[in-house]
């Protein structure tokens, strides 16, 4: 599904990401962890063609993402509030994203009804612009928009911060259900080791741009990660 070869990113001669080879199979829930500056957002930005690599390539379904459009048809993503349009209301923004996917009013209504528990009556129908929402509710809008159109690939960078505990639990449950039911390929980063081990079946640890661990999630993974980061 996602294949990386000889991928590097440098700024002013400093290498911030160096991944010689990495493959994420179709239907895998893939977690990315690391300290600040480890290269997580850089990696996701390269996967989404938001940055140009210094060397190497990223392919999705055996075709390069750089300079192409094919992967956008089946990929949903939310990295941060820059993905949003702050002067729109949540309803207007979701309508705009739905239109990009050819989803009409009835389809969007069904989708938003399915997100009602996650929104928790805090997002829609409040007469607010996105810029006036709390950070947590902005994130809810962005995550919901990423799910419109039933993507085959979902990329979420730090989806859990700013969400209240109830919303975190609902989001984790929804991601687990989507992964099982639709064989959704998920790429998720998180600083919270508990959340990432609950949601992802494979976890890669980045350290200063390098892959230092690649783990299949089991009952020992959380303790392995805790030991690594406490060393």
With bands split at pLDDT 50, 70 and 90, how would you rate the model's confidence at 231? confident
Do residues 68 and 60 lie in contact, with contact meaning Cβ atoms separated by under 8 Å? no
Sketch the domain layout of the chain as residue ranges.
2-230
State how far the alpha carbon of 24 is from the alpha carbons of 59, 79, 149, 186, in Å: 10, 19, 22, 9
Which pTM value belongs to this model? 0.95
**Sign of dihedral through CA atoms 72, 73, 79, 80?**
positive
State how far the alpha carbon of 202 is from the alpha carbons of 15, 31, 66, 214, in Å: 25, 6, 25, 7
Residue 182, pLDDT > 90, answer no
Q: What CATH architecture is 2-230?
A: 3-Layer(aba) Sandwich (3.40)
Position 150 scores a pLDDT of 92
Position 169 scores a pLDDT of 96
Per residue in 32-72, pLDDT (tens digit) is: 999 999 999 999 999 999 999 999 999 999 999 998 999 99
């Amino acid at each position: 599904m996602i294949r990386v070869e000889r991928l590097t990113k440098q700024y002013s001669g400093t290498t911030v990401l160096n991944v010689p080879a990495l493959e994420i199979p179709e239907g895998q829930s893939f977690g990315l962890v690391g300290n600040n500056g480890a290269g997580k957002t850089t990696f996701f930005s390269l996967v989404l063609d938001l940055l140009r690599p210094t060397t190497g390539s990223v392919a999705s379904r055996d075709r390069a993402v750089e300079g192409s459009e094919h992967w956008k048809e089946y990929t949903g993503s939310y990295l941060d509030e820059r993905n949003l349009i702050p002067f729109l209301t949540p309803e207007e923004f979701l309508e705009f994203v739905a239109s990009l996917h050819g989803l009409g009013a009835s389809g969007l209504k069904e989708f938003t009804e399915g997100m009602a528990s996650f929104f928790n009556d805090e997002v829609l129908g409040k007469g607010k612009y996105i810029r006036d929402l709390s950070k947590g509710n902005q994130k809810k809008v962005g995550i919901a928009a990423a799910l419109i159109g039933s993507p085959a690939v979902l990329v979420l960078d730090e989806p859990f911060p700013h969400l209240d505990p109830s919303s975190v639990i609902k989001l984790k449950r929804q991601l687990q259900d989507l992964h099982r039911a639709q064989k959704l390929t998920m790429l998720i980063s998180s600083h919270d080791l508990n959340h990432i081990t609950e949601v992802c079946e494979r976890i890669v640890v980045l350290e200063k741009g390098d892959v230092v661990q690649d783990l299949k999630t089991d009952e020992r993974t959380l303790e392995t990660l805790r030991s690594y980061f406490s060393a």
